Amino acid sequence: MLGYLARMVPPLLRSRLTVDGRRVSRIERRVHLSEIDLNRHMNQATYAQVMEIGRMDLVMGSGAWADLEGQGLRAVVAEQRIIYRRELKPGQRYLMDTRATGMDGRLLVFETHLLVGDRVHAKGIAKLIFIGEGGVLSAEDSAAACEAYVTDALVVQDWRVVG
């Protein structure tokens, strides 16, 4: 738990200090020894943790956190999927690219890619649902609350970034 909090604090502080309206979070990281498993690569549970750092960086830095909080809304992960394509080894550097790419009914879709060069090592898709004082928001209300923060997906072909 303490290691997780130590990984969360620096990006969250950076995001709180630099609310710049960005629609893409790009964080450079390195695989730490505390994140590896018996197979000597990044543990599968760590992927979800670092992808949450990317989502938090984006939500805070874009200004969405303040906007949603001001409307009395909370976002909760309703669905999550991670595709593991290539392993990340101890000490290996990678770039985490996170974007809100659209709506799936009343769920806001986030895509996170862990990249080494132009190669995708993992892709995460998280869908968030919004809860207000009256309960879960409708698809229309969710879309209205999120439209300013949605951007194009990262273009990937054959597990490589294109363009």
pLDDT tens digits, 56-111 = 999 999 999 999 999 999 999 999 999 999 999 999 999 999 999 999 999 999 99
Give the C-alpha separation, 53 to 59, whole Å: 10
Please calculate the CA angle 64-154-136 and round it to the nearest 5 degrees.
Answer: 40
Give the C-alpha separation, 84 to 82, whole Å: 6
pLDDT tens digits, 140-150 = 999 999 999 99
Give the C-alpha separation, 42 to 45, whole Å: 8
Contact 73, 129 (CB under 8 A): no
**Amino acid in position 163:** G
Give the C-alpha separation, 52 to 126, whole Å: 9
Contact 60, 21 (CB under 8 A): no
- Domain limits, the chain: 2-161
Phi then psi for residue 15, to 5 deg, are -65, -40
- pLDDT reported for residue 36: 95
Contact 126, 110 (CB under 8 A): yes
Rounded to the nearest angstrom, the gap between the alpha carbon of residue 145 and the centroid of all alpha carbons in its chain is: 18
Query: Can you list the alpha helix ranges (DSSP code H) found in the chain?
Result: 2-17, 44-62, 64-70, 139-146
Mean pLDDT of the chain: 92
Residue 19: both structure tokens together: 């609310």
H-run or E-run covering 147: none
pLDDT tens digits, 5-56 = 566 566 556 555 567 778 999 999 999 999 999 999 999 999 999 999 999 9
- The superfamily CATH assigns to domain 2-161 is Hotdog Thioesterase (3.10.129.10)
